[in-house]
Amino acid sequence: MPSHAAARPVGVSYLVYVLVVFYFGRMKPDLQTRTPKARGAVTNAVSRYETVSRHAETDGWEMEEDLPTLRTEVSIERPRSLITYNRSPDLPFDRSINPYRGCEHGCVYCFARPSHAYLGLSPGLDFETRLVARADAPQVLRDELARKRYKVAPLAIGTNTDPYQPIEREHRIMRQCLEVLEECDHPVAIVTKGTLIERDMDILSRMAARGLARVGLSITTLDPMLCRAMEPRAPTPRRRLETVRRLTGAGIPVRIMASPMVPALTDPELEAILASGKAAGAGSASWIMLRLPREVSPLWQEWLAVHYPDRAHRIMSRLREMHGGKDYDARWGHRMRGEGPYAEIVAHRFQVAIKRLGLKEKLAPMRTDLFRSPHEPSAQLNLL
């Protein structure tokens, strides 16, 4: 049994909670010989704000037991504000929205995992199993765009958690947000791994025709087995490339995002990923090195110890080499790519590849001159 259990979370039965803590508490890699099915994180390590931690201990019975299935739970949040502003020189946008908190795709390396700590939840398994749907997001977005002081600029969606994760099929929050943006001719840039974006090609194609929409589709690896381990509930690489074909076929500009590149694991695939994206119709490309902020680093190292123990030391050595001996360095201008010979080699390979393939790195800005407040009358007469 765990040596110390944290407070019981609201809405979860005590029995289920005990089972989860027993099996998925913060375990040492040598005790964690089996992992939860179809989940990315190996454990449910407590966040940086907790004062206690949990450790698994053997009960002495050498019996093979099935791990309890961790099902996805979704709670509803009524946000008072939606648009988040940033001043980071590393980012090509200054504002973004997120329809969901947490992400069922379960990418073990996701830099957004630490944000779940603000909810009193674990950046580990909680991040991919205990999700929050922001049901009123479309109306809040409409109200914020209608403010007299609002000044239009491209809005990014999917920069923290994926707007087209599986629960979007039921909740349709992203679809409704796009309807608001189309109504007022507001430019939008979307980042996703989700093929559910194909459902919204009608809206996106109309907006793209007016210079108001573009999509970045992330592909980390072309190896389906590696993808399944790192991104257990995300679509396969082949299926994502098919989405690129469908989007570009509908006239929607697509950027292939070779992100994140993992040293000694996925970085040998950089050129192949870019070439596959180009063949599928992508017109531009980008790349980012693996980032391990806050709780992501121990979660990632636990995952390596289970799935790739033979190369864990090499991967972490490369990352530390690029970050001055640390797992991660959050300095602007440094955190996305790292520095040093290895980072320079990857950056050079990227530049050579996109030049050879005819892919662009920078795109022309989207239009902002068409924007009108959602409370202003449309040029099109109402039907009734």
SS3 content of the chain, % helix, strand, coil (to 5): 35, 10, 55
Percentage of the chain with pLDDT > 90?
77
My answer on whether omega of the bond before 260 falls inside 30° of 0, hence cis, is yes
Query: What pLDDT, on the 0 to 100 scale, is given for residue 153?
Result: 98
How many Å apart are CA 157 and CA 177, to the nearest integer?
10
Q: Is the pLDDT of residue 229 over 80?
A: yes
Q: What is the mean pLDDT of residues 344-356?
A: 98
How many Å apart are CA 374 and CA 147, to the nearest integer?
10
User: Is the alpha carbon torsion for 110, 112, 117, 121 positive or negative?
Assistant: negative
For the ranges 44-58, 101-115, 280-294, 300-314, which has the lowest average pLDDT?
A: 44-58
Query: What pLDDT, on the 0 to 100 scale, is given for residue 22?
Result: 43
Q: Is the pLDDT of residue 6 over 50?
A: no
Q: Which residue has the higher pLDDT, 142 or 33?
A: 142
How confident is residue 101, by pLDDT bands cut at 50, 70 and 90? very high
Q: Are 347 and 355 in contact (CB under 8 A)?
A: no
Query: What pLDDT, on the 0 to 100 scale, is given for residue 194?
Result: 98
Give the pair of three-digit tokens for residue 130: 């205990």
Query: What pLDDT, on the 0 to 100 scale, is given for residue 144?
Result: 97
Q: What is the mean pLDDT of residues 120-134?
A: 96
All structural domains of the chain: 76-118+132-357 (3.80.30.30)
What residues form DSSP beta bridges with 75? Answer: 132
How many Å apart are CA 306 and CA 189, to the nearest integer?
36
Query: What pLDDT, on the 0 to 100 scale, is given for residue 48?
Result: 85
Q: What is the mean pLDDT of residues 92-103?
A: 96
Sorted by sequence, the CB contacts under 8 Å of residue 298 that are 6+ apart come out as 45
Helices (H), the chain: 14-24, 125-129, 137-145, 168-171, 173-183, 201-209, 224-230, 237-249, 270-280, 296-307, 312-322, 341-357
Query: What pLDDT, on the 0 to 100 scale, is given for residue 67?
Result: 64
For the ranges 60-64, 167-171, 215-219, 308-312, which has the lowest average pLDDT?
A: 60-64
How confident is residue 70, by pLDDT bands cut at 50, 70 and 90? confident
User: What's the whole-number average pLDDT of the chain?
Assistant: 89
Query: What pLDDT, on the 0 to 100 scale, is given for residue 66?
Result: 64
How confident is residue 28, by pLDDT bands cut at 50, 70 and 90? very low
Q: What is the mean pLDDT of residues 260-274?
A: 97
How confident is residue 376, by pLDDT bands cut at 50, 70 and 90? low
